[in-house]
Structure 1
């Protein structure tokens, strides 16, 4: 079990929060993995959404959990951890003081700031957190892909959030890496002598990576109009899987060494040109 902490989910009424984060926290709570005293703050942009948030969260749990995982008794205990807050990330005068007041009732708690928002507001959110004095050496920042629109904007976002958080406190999340099959890939490759010896160009003809999604846009049309499937799926999920398939064995199985081996794979890739892409298929 962890020590108690505060987590603030910016974009608490969005698809990511309701489909993934709230259900994950609920399952951690019911598995007794959250210490007593842990608090979950969620931000929404309207008073109406805040007032209905507990009802909305309950609906999302019933929709996205398997039936036996949800029951009224567990929900009654879990919702006591939820603290919805009305807040406009871009406007420091809209809810930030209220969030600060709520968090500062436990000033020494470890704080996790989860930006389940468009990347365009990552910098503004970090800036306001700093201006309100809510960042400490024990604070952590979690950001989701896609990190920007292109290399230039990704670099700008990284530089901006680094103004307020040390690199060791920043967690860039690709939720595909949390899938059981993906996690098992490392074990299959590097703890199994049979596969490790055969995992080379002499034994493998080619590799085809298929992501068979069954979920549609589900309210994310605005995001897809801006980002597109290539940025949403290929430059993160697919390249992460490609790196795990093609990387050499790291010296030790820690995050830093795995990251180094992934980078070597990415640096070795041939850039795709227009001539390589089939159009109007």
Structure 2
């Protein structure tokens, strides 16, 4: 389907994600006239609320999370008129008929955003089927987690597939909605500058870092079950790797782009049990200080001992002609010194320096793609310092900057969910994850976890506010590589 729907149904409508992201995102689309005329938004959750209660809840969320310049009372009032609410216990079939009655006629199409606990997927799908809410004009968006390994992911996807074929299933990875992530495609395939050297002949290595300053933040039960590898690497980081490593797609559409991504994911070299201790590092944060505040250890926050990793670093390889021999270093962790998501592409040095005899020191070019908190693309190049050079040529690394905040200062920076919700409403699957992608990701991740279990790998301690265990430094330093910090 490629036509907009007339109705939107939000499961988990009173949760934290809804307050912080979904409701403000939908308002932003409404304020800019991007939602279809007459689109109604029905929220559902277990709590007993009326339409008026839900509108008051949404109004409070907008007051809390909108930028001051967005707070137009008339526009907010018009948006709140789109909202309705129906309480529902999704674990039973009993309330789904009432939900269908509340939504009303769906002949104009229905989009469902499902953000619930994984164990509720089965009952929810059955309930939607029983109430006639899974027809050919209905599509569903699925928020993670979608399983905890390949087997459970397949089980979840099989449940969804009973009612929604692949073309009507939209798996969400919110990183794909970020402007800078989409700019990877523009950078690579919209410019002739990079493609000739975007391969093993021109690139020495790639680093992908996602660091967080926060700890558990109310997610203790979920996080202790999954850890950093499954929470961050399996989805966000492998999607970024796929965008960096993919071959040029034939066209900009969901099929072409996702076909090329899945080729990369299937080409990831498996990390065997014998290699896992040398190619991966796990860690768990201890006591320390982050952004000037004293914080306690992971076990202290959890109030029990745990072997769950809050940090992971991996040396990965993509076995293809383009990338043979190029290492991809992945690193993510909680309680890091700063919040940062970035991709660093380190190019190889020039084959011969004409400046060496004159004292000029060259550094290889580096491309930094920063996703958050700032959004920019920065190319570090060598330039000559001004002077008469009587004591030799002085060279210095200088940045060529493309700051999205500066270059597009007149354009409002959008929440990633705005793009994804609009694409769900309009039926564009390009920035959503296909089932074969998810399964290729899980297969690689499960191999790493099996290696940890075979070697009884325990997370190494690191102080909160540091860049992780010292072993993560050794992971790159033995290759002559330093983490970009």
Task: Determine if the TM-score, normalized by the shorter chain, exceeds 0.5.
Answer: yes
Counterpart of 1:156 in structure 2 is 155
Q: Which protein shows a greater Rg? A: 2
Counterpart of 2:41 in structure 1 is 40
Structure 1: runs of 5+ lacking an equivalent: none
Counterpart of 1:113 in structure 2 is 112
Preserved CA contact (<8 Å) 2:138 2:168:
yes
Pick closer, same or farther for the CA change 1:171–1:4 going to 2, 3 Å: closer
Cα RMSD (Å): 2.0
Q: 4+ residue runs of structure 1 moved beyond 6 angstroms?
A: none
Structure number with the bigger relative contact order (C-alpha 8 A, sep ≥ 6) is 2
TM superposition shift of 1:146: 2.5
TM superposition shift of 1:71: 2.7
After the TM superposition, which residues 209-248 of structure 1 pair with which residues of structure 2 at under 5 Å, given as runs?
A: 209-213=208-212, 217-248=216-247
Counterpart of 1:26 in structure 2 is 27
TM-score, normalised by the number of residues in structure 2: 0.54
* Structure with a larger share of its residues in helix: 1
Preserved CA contact (<8 Å) 2:6 2:38:
yes
Preserved CA contact (<8 Å) 1:120 1:148:
no
TM superposition shift of 1:206: 1.1
Pick closer, same or farther for the CA change 1:254–1:174 going to 2, 3 Å: same
CA distance in 1, matches of 2:178, 2:4: 25
Preserved CA contact (<8 Å) 1:50 1:86:
no
After the TM superposition, which residues 102-141 of structure 1 pair with which residues of structure 2 at under 5 Å, given as runs?
A: 102-104=102-104, 106-141=105-140
Counterpart of 1:99 in structure 2 is 99
2:79 maps to 1:75: no
Counterpart of 2:17 in structure 1 is 16
CA distance in 1, matches of 2:51, 2:221: 22
TM superposition shift of 1:113: 1.1
2:280 maps to 1:277: yes
1:94-123 Cα offsets, whole Å, 9 max, x none, are: x3222111122x241310111011222222
* Structure with a larger share of its residues in strand: 2
Preserved CA contact (<8 Å) 2:93 2:123:
no
Tell me, what secondary structure is at the counterpart of 1:140?
A: strand
Structure 2: runs of 5+ lacking an equivalent: 282-458, 461-468, 470-485
TM-score, normalised by the number of residues in structure 1: 0.91
TM superposition shift of 1:216: 5.6
